[in-house]
Structure 1
Amino acid sequence: MALDVGMFEGHRVNRAAAERRCATLTTRRSVKKAHQAAWLVNAVRCVDLTTLAGDDTEGRVKRLCAKARKPLASHIEAGLGLSAGELTVGAVCVYPTMVPHAVKALEGSNIPVASVATGFPAGLMPLHLRLEEIRWAVAQGAAEIDIVINRELALTRNWQGLHDEIAAMREACGDAHMKAILATGELETLNNVYSASMVAMQAGADFIKTSTGKESVNATLPVSLTMLRALRDYGMATGHRIGFKPAGGMKQAKEALAWQILMKEELGRDWLNPDLFRFGASSMLGDIERQLEHYVTGRYADSSRHALA
């Protein structure tokens, strides 16, 4: 849709109230035993299993894809009553040059390959090069593209410029889904987070995503709450449902519970499915598997038993 600043200009976010709301998420209820196991299994379904390191290789990507196909050990699957191959992660996320390796390794599965693009993580490349990177990744088989916004345009409140860039990226994605990374740790205020969320959705983003994972501050619950309120307001105004992806710094299973509780309370049960919710994480999957093994066996395994790649 065309830019409509009336949907966000003048909107003010109360940071103290957002922090108070998020501080009570996991203290007002207790998710234990079978219920906790069910929530953790659902979290696995929503993980974008990610490797975005400078020393990524074909071998590492292949091992990560093997984990994506079978995220839990066989005895844990059996203990949970899951059949072999029933549970997979939501997607595998890699750099553009690793896309062909991931596509080949995931052949025959229904797991999509996501690729970061547009000069990730800074995004400070000429626009025509960012668009060409999107097209190249899609041509290599990426079904989802995680783009990064130009933070200068958000910080200077050049909303038209930001809208036009994201809309051009959406067009370059073609049939691939586009996740817009806001890099919220660099947007300075929650007001900017709300506004940038609205602009990204108006420009055609299928998901809005908190972080690249490379900022000093990544996904936090108050930032996520602000983005979810923008999602809700946008949905009420347009009738369109947009997905959400927190990313960066999430390492423990209890964090997966907190974000799912937030999603269910703010947006409802539909946003606990991978078509509308993803975690950008890798090490968190290892802790989820460790917690599920404890549920099944009554014992905690050493983390080395749950390596990702």
Structure 2
Amino acid sequence: MTGTSIEAPHERALALLGGQPDDATLRRYLHGLPGVDAVGLEARAADLGTRSIKTTSKAWALDTIVKLIDLTTLEGADTPGKVRSLTAKALAPDPGDRQTPRTAAVCVYGDMVGIAVESLGAAHGDPDDGLVAVAAVATAFPSGRASLEIKLADTRDAVAAGADEIDMVIDRGAFLSGRYGQVFDEIVAVKDACRRADGTSASLKVILETGELMSYDNVRRASWLSILAGGDFIKTSTGKVAPAATLPVTLLMLEVVRDWHTATGGRIGVKPAGGIRTSKDAIKYLVTVAETVGEDWLQPHLFRFGASSLLNDVLLQRQKLRTGHYSGPDYVTID
């Protein structure tokens, strides 16, 4: 994740489009995608959500969830002390159990990146190697309402401060107005702004804000558009708009990623964010990933949970498995 090489929109994307990514070409491609069968999608998601896992797999599942969490604080009242506490929790989620894995990343506002990097110290790095990455929200998060110049400056500042990953928001107004070329060009420009002096690039997560897209068809189109423009991840939500992540929407995005992989061989990550609070719910997402794109996707460079409270429940469940009891709420269980 931390050493992604920068490249222009891939030739494979242009080949799929059959032309340059202007409004007309993108509209023809995106509106030529098959319509989403909403009833079928929700039925598949509901079925996957009822799948159980063996008791012997629960410890693995809980540890996997921890390894895939972007531990997040995105509040106006964030302070350096709060960010230091967040990084300490990412490094040692359960101080009483040193076998607990680290989280994949901490996710903060751009002005807090330097604090996070300094706090992580030698443990800052690629989560695939057991280290902790720093993700920064950018591009006038969460609204995306700013000029392109401001969005790019926001991105460059975060990368210069040491961000390994940039979580950008698309311009939903432009997308819903059919100005697909503008959205495409902004993603391309932000990805270029992720470039480092050594030629590598911070990984780019593209937030669709699916709660504002109004239809599954639009979620599918926005997912394809973001991948075609060069996003490394597609992410459901900022966590500031309801509904945030849902299982049907995440399933739909995973199906797009699967279809992209089939068509091009490329691998794109998916990040559901917002509203996933319990281990029981998170396991539903693990099952959905495994059944849709395969267990290979259950690693930090291909799947993340954007969460602030999920980790607490996972730790309670780990304690329960280890000791046979815990002091958490009775309703939080894994069936």
- Normalising by structure 2, we get a TM-score of 0.85
Contact 1:146–1:179 at 8 Å: present in 2 too?
yes
Question: Quick one: distance in 1 between partners of 2:306 and 2:243?
Answer: 14
Question: Quick one: distance in 1 between partners of 2:57 and 2:216?
Answer: 33
Question: Quick one: distance in 2 between partners of 1:54 and 1:14?
Answer: 39
Q: Could you tell me how far 1:249 is from its partner in structure 2?
A: 0.9
**In the alignment, residue 200 of structure 1 is paired with which amino acid?**
S
Question: Quick one: distance in 1 between partners of 2:102 and 2:53?
Answer: 23
**In the alignment, residue 38 of structure 1 is paired with which amino acid?**
W
Question: Quick one: distance in 1 between partners of 2:85 and 2:282?
Answer: 23
Q: Does 1:173 align with 2:194?
A: yes
The corresponding residue for 1:231 is 257
Question: Quick one: distance in 2 between partners of 1:232 and 1:160?
Answer: 24
SS of the residue corresponding to residue 24 of structure 1 reads helix
Question: Quick one: distance in 1 between partners of 2:141 and 2:273?
Answer: 14
**In the alignment, residue 177 of structure 2 is paired with which amino acid?**
T
Question: Quick one: distance in 2 between partners of 1:15 and 1:50?
Answer: 31
Q: Which runs of 5 or more residues in structure 1 are unaligned? A: 304-309
SS of the residue corresponding to residue 25 of structure 1 reads helix
Contact 1:49–1:68 at 8 Å: present in 2 too?
yes
Q: Could you tell me how far 1:32 is from its partner in structure 2?
A: 4.1
Q: Does 1:49 align with 2:63?
A: no
The corresponding residue for 2:151 is 130
Question: Quick one: distance in 1 between partners of 2:53 and 2:95?
Answer: 23
Change (3 A) 1:300 1:32: farther
CA RMSD of aligned residues (A): 1.4
SS of the residue corresponding to residue 277 of structure 2 reads coil
Q: Does 1:66 align with 2:80?
A: no
Contact 1:293–1:301 at 8 Å: present in 2 too?
no
**In the alignment, residue 23 of structure 1 is paired with which amino acid?**
A
Question: Quick one: distance in 2 between partners of 1:71 and 1:34?
Answer: 22
The corresponding residue for 2:4 is none
Map 1:26-41; keep pairs closer than 5 Å: 26-27=49-50, 29-41=51-63
Q: Could you tell me how far 1:26 is from its partner in structure 2?
A: 3.1
Q: Could you tell me how far 1:160 is from its partner in structure 2?
A: 1.3
SS of the residue corresponding to residue 311 of structure 2 reads helix
Contact 1:33–1:295 at 8 Å: present in 2 too?
no
The corresponding residue for 1:192 is 218
Question: Quick one: distance in 1 between partners of 2:30 and 2:255?
Answer: 11
Question: Quick one: distance in 1 between partners of 2:264 and 2:29?
Answer: 11
The corresponding residue for 1:221 is 247
Contact 1:7–1:198 at 8 Å: present in 2 too?
no
Q: Does 1:13 align with 2:36?
A: yes
Worse overlay, 50-59 or 231-240 = 231-240
Q: Which runs of 5 or more residues in structure 2 are unaligned? A: 1-8, 15-20, 124-130, 196-200, 330-335
Question: Quick one: distance in 2 between partners of 1:240 and 1:274?
Answer: 16
Q: 1:288 aligns with which of 314, 319, 322?
A: 314
The one-character-per-residue Cα deviations of 1:187-230 (angstroms, maximum 9, x if unpaired) are: 00111111111111111101000000000210001111111111
Task: State the identity %.
Answer: 45
Question: Quick one: distance in 1 between partners of 2:69 and 2:134?
Answer: 12
Runs (4+) of structure 1 exceeding 4 A deviation are: none
The corresponding residue for 1:92 is 106
**In the alignment, residue 42 of structure 2 is paired with which amino acid?**
E
Q: Could you tell me how far 1:233 is from its partner in structure 2?
A: 1.3
Map 1:134-145; keep pairs closer than 5 Å: 134-145=155-166
**In the alignment, residue 258 of structure 2 is paired with which amino acid?**
R
Question: Quick one: distance in 2 between partners of 1:218 and 1:51?
Answer: 16
Map 1:97-108; keep pairs closer than 5 Å: 97-108=111-122
Question: Quick one: distance in 2 between partners of 1:34 and 1:288?
Answer: 16
- Normalising by structure 1, we get a TM-score of 0.92
Q: Could you tell me how far 1:302 is from its partner in structure 2?
A: 3.8
